[in-house]
């Protein structure tokens, strides 16, 4: 399973339509709340997982607290809440002795798979609500509706839903070699699979072929789907593919890539195991779907 997948919560689509149910769930003392501050997630300091809190958390955040319903588990409602309005959020919430706000990338590898799935949903929703307070149609203020599954304009009644940005990420292969690229901002020696946003009116296969041709000058034929991964930075869906190259003459777009190179299967397998070749090649961490594609190609598991 890819990281940020496996969310165990029932997203409660029917219950969200019932305002009385929503009010009762929010008031229920059993309900649990996961706080974020500037998109960092609250985790336990002992490394045992997410730091869920009870309803008293909302009072400490104050009127800025607008909890977003994530779903139900065992009949208990689970929410995400933004505590970014607090200067020292962990201390202000009285949790600094046992919990801390942590960068999601830094802690994802330490969390249980199902917890990363919850974080993917929660982080994306917290960010979307924070950045969409006004109606894109008329400019008036919007309010949370259906427990946070949407926002509604108070003036023109337009309904707005959280956006997910589709991204193709592909391992391009030709025979016993695979194509990897790197961006200039990445750490020295780090290479990964090519990737790019799907554009309007474009299929997944067309996006793969366009991105590879634009970035590396390689024409692609057959494209097959491998797996997908929510990527909450802030809200993308990574669509993992394997693409068959029709040639091997690389011509990079230096606005997109710093370098691209063909890697043979033996070298790739060594890199997947954490070994490096003479050039210092290394791959993204196992939580990235680009690494999953590389591992699968050489017959390893992340």
- 194-237 pLDDT tens trace: 999 999 999 999 999 999 999 999 999 999 999 999 999 999 99
Last residue of a domain, one of 131, 155, 174: 131
Count other Cβ atoms within 10 Å, centred on residue 48: 11
> Would strands 150-153 and 194-197 be described as parallel, antiparallel, or unpaired?
unpaired
What is the C-alpha to C-alpha distance for residues 48 and 78, in angstroms, rounded to an integer?
18
Question: What CATH number has the domain bearing residue 228?
Answer: 3.90.79.10
The rounded mean pLDDT for the chain is 95
Question: What CATH number has the domain bearing residue 91?
Answer: 3.90.79
Judge if 181 and 244 occupy the same domain: yes
Does any domain span residue 302? no
Task: Give me the pLDDT at residue 302, please.
Answer: 47
Does any domain span residue 201? yes
Does any domain span residue 2? no
Last residue of a domain, one of 112, 131, 150: 131
Q: Is the pLDDT of residue 300 over 90?
A: no
Which has the closest alpha carbon to 245: 294, 166, 292, 176?
176
* Three-state DSSP state, 90: helix
Does any domain span residue 152? no
Q: Is residue 228 classed exposed, middle or buried when 0-12, 13-18 and 19+ CB atoms within 10 A define those classes?
A: middle
What is the C-alpha to C-alpha distance for residues 138 and 223, in angstroms, rounded to an integer?
42
Count other Cβ atoms within 10 Å, centred on residue 260: 22
Does any domain span residue 154? no
Task: Give me the pLDDT at residue 277, please.
Answer: 75
Per-residue pLDDT of 149-198, as tens digits, reads 999 999 999 999 999 999 999 999 999 999 999 999 999 999 999 999 99
What is the mean pLDDT of the segment spanning 127-145?
Answer: 97
Per-residue pLDDT of 8-52, as tens digits, reads 999 999 999 999 999 999 999 999 999 999 999 999 999 999 999
Does any domain span residue 265? yes
What is the mean pLDDT of the segment spanning 246-268?
Answer: 95
How would residue 301 be classed by pLDDT, with cut points 50, 70 and 90?
low
CB 204 within 8 A of CB 225: yes
Judge if 182 and 72 occupy the same domain: no
How would residue 278 be classed by pLDDT, with cut points 50, 70 and 90?
confident
**DSSP state, residue 6:** -
* Three-state DSSP state, 60: helix
Q: Is the pLDDT of residue 53 over 90?
A: yes
Judge if 188 and 270 occupy the same domain: yes
> Which residue is it, tokens 């929703």?
125
Does any domain span residue 254? yes
> Which residue is it, tokens 């790739």?
268
Does any domain span residue 9? no
What is the mean pLDDT of the segment spanning 259-281?
Answer: 91
Judge if 179 and 109 occupy the same domain: no
Judge if 203 and 99 occupy the same domain: no
Token pair of 46 as six digits? 């002992």
Bond into 234 cis (ω within 30): yes
Last residue of a domain, one of 111, 131, 151: 131
How would residue 1 be classed by pLDDT, with cut points 50, 70 and 90?
confident
Judge if 283 and 210 occupy the same domain: yes
Count other Cβ atoms within 10 Å, centred on residue 109: 11
Judge if 120 and 198 occupy the same domain: no
Which has the closest alpha carbon to 214: 201, 228, 195, 200?
195
Which has the closest alpha carbon to 279: 271, 269, 287?
271
CB 209 within 8 A of CB 198: no
Q: Is residue 213 classed exposed, middle or buried when 0-12, 13-18 and 19+ CB atoms within 10 A define those classes?
A: middle
Structural domain that includes position 170: 165-297
Judge if 195 and 274 occupy the same domain: yes
CB 2 within 8 A of CB 292: yes
Domain count for the chain, please give it.
Answer: 2
Compute φ and ψ for 84, nearest 5 degrees. Answer: -65, -15
């Amino acid at each position: 399973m890819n990281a940020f997948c496996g969310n165990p919560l029932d997203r409660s689509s029917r219950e969200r339509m019932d305002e009385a149910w929503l009010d009762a769930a929010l008031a229920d003392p059993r309900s649990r709340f996961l706080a974020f501050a500037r998109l960092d997630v609250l985790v336990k300091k002992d490394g045992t997982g997410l730091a869920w809190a009870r309803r008293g958390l909302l009072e400490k955040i104050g009127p800025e607290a607008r909890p977003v319903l994530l779903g139900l588990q065992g009949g208990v409602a689970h929410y995400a809440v933004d505590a970014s309005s607090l200067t020292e959020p962990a201390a202000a919430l009285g949790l600094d002795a046992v919990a801390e706000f942590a960068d999601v990338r830094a802690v994802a590898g330490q969390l249980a798979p199902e917890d990363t799935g919850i974080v993917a949903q929660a982080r994306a929703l917290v960010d979307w609500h924070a950045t969409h307070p006004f109606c894109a149609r008329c400019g008036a203020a919007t309010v949370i509706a259906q427990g946070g599954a949407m926002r509604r304009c108070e003036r023109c009644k337009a309904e707005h839903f959280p956006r997910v940005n589709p991204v193709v990420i592909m391992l391009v292969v030709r025979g016993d070699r695979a194509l990897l690229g790197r961006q200039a901002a990445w750490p020295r020696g780090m290479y990964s699979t090519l990737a790019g946003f799907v554009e309007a009116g474009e299929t997944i296969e067309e996006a793969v072929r366009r991105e590879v041709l634009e970035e590396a000058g390689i024409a692609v034929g057959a494209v097959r789907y491998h797996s997908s991964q929510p990527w909450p930075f802030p809200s993308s869906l990574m669509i993992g593919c394997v693409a068959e190259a029709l040639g091997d003459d690389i011509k990079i777009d230096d606005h997109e890539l710093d370098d691209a190179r063909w890697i043979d299967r033996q070298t790739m397998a060594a890199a997947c195991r954490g070994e490096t070749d003479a050039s210092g090649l290394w791959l993204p961490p196992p939580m990235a779907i680009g690494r999953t594609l590389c591992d699968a190609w050489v017959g390893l598991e992340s």
